[in-house]
Amino acid sequence: MDKYFVPDGVRLQVAQSRVTHMAIGAHQDDLEIFAYHGISACYGSSTNWFAGVTVTDGGGSARVGAYQDFTDEQMKKVRYREQNRAAEMGGYSLQAQLGVPSSKIKDSRSSSELVDELEGLLRACRPHTLYLHNPADKHDTHVAVLTRCVEALRRIVPEERPSRIYGCEVWRDLDWLDDECKIALPVDEHPILARDLVAVFESQVAGGKDYVRATLGRRHANATFYQSHNVDTASGYTFAMDLSPLFVGEQVSMQDFLSEHLERFKSDALGRIQKFDKQ
């Protein structure tokens, strides 16, 4: 299976050179769930182009029904085809599938080759906007992929890094983030495309996970519950945190970065109780 897929057939170097928005995710279908803001911004545009990077090989997914007897190798092929089909539907500039086993991503001693490859992709594409997993995600592979992305980005001088780096929600939403730190990305354009880009991963939806309704429902819930005293201004949001502090000056660790957000949440929640509970 080829590592790179360019839907409109131009040379890979051309596809890389036109990229404006990029997302790097762990699994096939992660990009379509957390980076739809970038996909939508580029869809049908003559100036914006989206690049998707899927890191894992797709072999360890849950499966029932029609896929219950599929081997890992068969599932890898199915998920590979589904991801490239999403790239076609979304009009991506390119889709990369790196095919790295999760175990290798999680092991810092064996992940240097992946970090090299991620650095190379970031240098070749030079996106101005980058969508990544966030450090509060509860899926180990998502956090491991984020960690390797941070390692790669820290090798790149500031002026060549993306100007916007978002940590986005998949396995655990970001509704708990302090509103001053929360980035609300509107995702209500091209609603049919939004649905179809998740539904195309039929092996996952039919395999026991209704990601279509869950993804669209979360986006709508984010919009409605975002601000209690304001009317909705969009029908869907994905929430993200700004990851740029990880790359400024004396670079803060991801643990300290996340701890600061958690302390803000703790202070807000306890402070609200203390205003009314005098016991």
Domain map (residue ranges) of the chain:
4-272
Q: Can you give the pLDDT of all 279 residues of the chain as single tens digits?
A: 799 999 999 999 999 999 999 999 999 999 999 999 999 999 999 999 999 999 998 877 766 677 777 888 888 899 999 999 999 999 999 999 999 988 899 988 888 999 999 999 999 999 999 999 999 999 999 999 999 999 999 999 999 999 999 999 999 999 999 999 999 999 999 999 999 999 999 888 776 678 999 999 999 999 999 887 677 778 899 999 999 999 987 778 999 999 999 999 999 999 989 888 876
Q: What's domain 4-272's architecture?
A: 3-Layer(aba) Sandwich (3.40)
Helix 191-199 with 211-225: angle, nearest 10 deg: 140
Rounded CA separation 211/196 (Å): 11
- On whether the CB atoms of residues 239 and 183 are closer than 8 A, the answer is yes
Say which DSSP state 170 is in.
Answer: B
Helix (H, G, I), strand (E, B), or coil: what is residue 95?
Answer: strand
pLDDT at 207: 64
Rounded CA separation 242/2 (Å): 33
Instruction: Report H helices in the chain.
Output: 12-17, 30-34, 36-42, 72-90, 102-106, 112-125, 140-153, 191-199, 202-205, 211-225, 254-274
Q: Is the pTM of this model over 0.75?
A: yes
Q: CB atoms < 10 A from the CB of 243, how many?
A: 25
Rounded CA separation 51/33 (Å): 15
pLDDT at 149: 97
Residues in the chain: 279
pLDDT at 99: 94
Q: Is the dihedral of CA 22, 176, 214, 57 positive or negative?
A: positive
Q: What share of the chain is helix, strand, coil (3-state, %, to 5)?
A: 45, 15, 40
